Amino acid sequence: MEFFVQSVSADLPSRYTPSTRLRVFAGLILTMIMAALDQSIVSTALPTVVSDLGGLAHMSWVVTAFMLTSTIATPLYGKLSDMFGRRPLLGFSIGAFLLASLLCGVAQSMWQLILFRGFQGIGAGGLMTLSQTVIGDMVTPQQRGRYQGLFTGAFAVSSVTGPFLGGVLTSALSWRWVFLVNLPVGLLAFTLIMLSLPSGGAEKRPRIDYLGAGLLAIATAGFLLLFNSLGTALSWTSPLTLLLLTGSTVVFLLFLWQERRAPEPLVSLGLLRIADFSVCVAATGIMSFAMMGSMIFLPLYYQLVLGETPATSGLMMLPQVGTMMISSILGGYVSSRTQRYELLLVIGVGIEFLALALIALCARHGAPAFSFLLSLGCLGVGMGIGMPNATVIIQNSVPGNMLGIATAMMAFIRSLGGSLGVALSGGVMALMLRNSLNALPEKIDVPTFLENGMAAIQTLSPALHDQVKAAYKTSISASLTVSSSFMFLAFMLIVGLMARKKLNPGNDQTA
């Protein structure tokens, strides 16, 4: 860490001493680790939570409530931090997250836990966004790649540690410690940041776009509820589905109209006229769409098709995390030295596309586990190179006084893209699986079978078991193919941006 601090000391304002920067960066990394852990640690404990509190039918809302409020809060943090400074918003974000973690840890019913998780999402919406924004504030544009690479590596390690730590805490202590473990980490991060990060200036008479915030919250809630319910609570063609889609679209269009006329818009639509910003934000959302759509269902393939245990299927994700951690740190160093952010982004996204295409092919043809491990290693390399450089391009393309809202817009689109990716890939898998099961020579009760999952598979005869396994192989490989297709779209967007800049080197900033 000290190497990174000293390497840019000459380029920063004199008020940031090396020790101050070290404390701030340590606090920011702890904040990122806490946010990344929370995304993966809770899912491990959910079966135990249900056994203790009951409410199996509402279990998915523990995740959905958190995702809903955090996605809505993300752009608000970006705009408000540009108006009031980073420190008070980051302090509020960490404080709200810790208070909600404490409440989750003492929840006495499933509905209490769902309510407290929604409150926790309000705090979580600012953790990653504001951490990345502060990095953009404190280091020069030339050095942002190195720091964003370091943060990506910390995120990767935390993501893979989460399920393991969640299992250990749940088994050795209680599921409540999955939430309570945030308290010491968060308090240390809060102390380091509040004591070391300058307060920054605030507008004398800030004007907040309350109407825009309300419209965005309603539209985002509608879209997330719609796409997270498709194929389960809602059918694709039901009147309620069409009503929710139409209503959310109308409210979103009203939000855009409000942002055009508001004196201080929540989202600056003018940023979309910057080619680097608009293309990279769109590509980031599509990349998240593809990654979430594939990573959610790959462990399911390992268990249902390859016959691996849940523990082994989790360990099979390690090649991706390991290579991502290494490539993000090395890639950040290379990008800071070469300043070739677009080229490195093209290389990273290209590797991601090839890796996802290989994973889809392996799934379709029933390749052995070793093939998946190699493909996941390649995927981690691409993610480690691509993700930090996308963030750097976005931050370097906007004025300094709009850094917060630009980073928040990227995080918002990334979160929304991930949610839509899970929904679409899950819908494709569910549709093909249902059709395949209905076409089996030996009829089974498909709704009951899908509800019971792996427990129902164990009761099948050997012949029917093989047929069901083949149905899962076909349906999951189809969802992986959808994900790789969207990653190719992101790749072509970045290639198009790079080609345009070569053809028009003097006109890079306007669309």
Regarding whether 80 and 119 lie in a shared domain, the answer is yes
Regarding whether 278 and 239 lie in a shared domain, the answer is no
Regarding whether 101 and 187 lie in a shared domain, the answer is yes
Final residue belonging to a domain, choices 212, 242, 263: 263
Tokens of 450: 């899908």
Regarding whether 377 and 278 lie in a shared domain, the answer is yes
Q: What is the pLDDT of residue 1?
A: 41
Regarding whether 244 and 309 lie in a shared domain, the answer is no
Does the residue 68 lie in any domain?
yes
Q: What is the pLDDT of residue 445?
A: 62
Regarding whether 402 and 333 lie in a shared domain, the answer is yes
Domain span at 41: 1-197
Does the residue 207 lie in any domain?
no
Which pLDDT band, with edges at 50, 70 and 90, does 71 fall under? confident
Which pLDDT band, with edges at 50, 70 and 90, does 306 fall under? confident
CB of 285 closer than 8 Å to CB of 416: yes
Regarding whether 225 and 167 lie in a shared domain, the answer is no
Give the tens place of pLDDT for each residue, 367-387: 888 888 898 888 888 888 887
Distance CA 104, CA 113 (A): 5
Regarding whether 435 and 308 lie in a shared domain, the answer is yes
Q: What is the pLDDT of residue 220?
A: 77
Question: What is the pTM assigned to this prediction?
Answer: 0.70
Torsion angle in degrees (nearest 10) through CA of 81, 85, 86, 89: -60
Does the residue 205 lie in any domain?
no
Regarding whether 439 and 353 lie in a shared domain, the answer is yes
**Mean pLDDT along residues 404-429:** 74
**Mean pLDDT along residues 49-58:** 64
**Mean pLDDT along residues 144-160:** 63
Across 69-78, 448-457, 486-495, least confident range = 448-457
Final residue belonging to a domain, choices 205, 234, 263: 263
Regarding whether 385 and 249 lie in a shared domain, the answer is no
Final residue belonging to a domain, choices 234, 263, 292: 263
Q: Calculate the CA 168 to chain-centre distance.
A: 24
- Kind plus residue range of the DSSP H or E element containing 463: helix 462-503
Across 111-125, 143-157, 274-288, least confident range = 143-157
Does the residue 310 lie in any domain?
yes
Tokens of 221: 């809630």
Q: Calculate the CA 434 to chain-centre distance.
A: 29
- The partner residues of 326 in beta bridges, in order of sequence, read none
Tokens of 138: 């404190």
Regarding whether 303 and 156 lie in a shared domain, the answer is no
**Mean pLDDT along residues 440-465:** 64
Give the tens place of pLDDT for each residue, 82-115: 777 778 888 899 999 999 989 988 888 878 888 8
Does the residue 203 lie in any domain?
no
Q: What is the CATH number of the domain that holds 362?
A: 1.20.1250.20
Interior angle at CA 140, CA 136 and CA 145, nearest 5: 70
Regarding whether 276 and 249 lie in a shared domain, the answer is no
Domain count, the chain: 3
